[in-house]
Amino acid sequence: MSTQRAEYVWFNGKIVPWNEAKVHVLTHAFNYGTAAFEGIRAYPYGDELFVFRLADHIKRLFESAKIYGFQIGYTHQQIIQACIDVAKTNNFHEKIYIRPLVYVAGVGIGIGFTNQPVGVAIAAVPFESYFPKKGGVDTLVSSWRRIPEQSLPPSAKITGHYANSVLGKMDALTNGYNEAIMLDITGRVSEGTGENIFIVKNGRLVTPTVASGILEGITRRTVMELAYEHGIEVVERDVTRSELYNCDEAFFAGTAAEITPILSIDKRVIGSGSPGQITRKMMDLYSKAVTGQLPGHKDWLTAVYNTVQKQRGKNVQETSLPSID
């Protein structure tokens, strides 16, 4: 998956040119995976660009950092504003992906990071689809298991944790599949390599519980809330591997993946082999929600451009936030 560049990045309190957002090769986070991050989407509609559930993402970013003891030198609202600023300064008016990153910024050798500085970087890039556009994905159940709570906290969105996801993803790609489904350490269904999973059986949505080692996705929460509002029953429970093969429908839910139908699992065709009725319903509701076309959920959206305030275009402006230096 290639990523387009942008002109500017928010880097430790400043908007800087893309090529100036750098860290040393011996930065602790680069060597030991000690960084918390988020993936956030923004969608154009009319003349506006809406960031979806921005406050929820930043809340989770702070919670991930707290689990590991990363001391963020900015408030929630400052990080929220910085996300808006980097999108606005790049003058984006297309679909974008925003990546806030809180990282241990000390330079040197050693696993501990006591008294080391913590940096914050926020990049945003144009971003369309995570998976190939072909109506859905073909998946396998990976032989690699999802990290258990006893080893690493799955509820924290930490860069180092994603080495586990990389193994599952490469397992899928090298065997000709689009994505992998990870089981937890006991053999229960957990999630995809970067998405939560839902199956449909007899008109009900079923999704694994937090005890299955999942990251509690914000898109997952959105799906559950929208389903409830539209009379679709949602059940959180353990899901077995064999249930995957005999479900009526299945789909992934994630910020990057959005709502992606699962067409097959381990070469077993799911349902009719095309997106089912409930999957299509959730795709439609989600598409409307992220662009402000769904009544009752305008609070999920943060507008990047204020029509009263003149747009900054591509003029670089430094924020009033302090640098970590």
**Alpha-carbon span 150 to 72, nearest angstrom:** 26
Query: Could you say which of 157, 169, 288, 314 is catalytic?
Result: 157
Amino acid at 263: L
**Residue 309: is it exposed, middle or buried by C-beta count within 10 angstroms (0-12/13-18/19+)?**
exposed
**Alpha-carbon span 133 to 314, nearest angstrom:** 31
Active-site residue 267, yes or no? no
Active site residues: 157
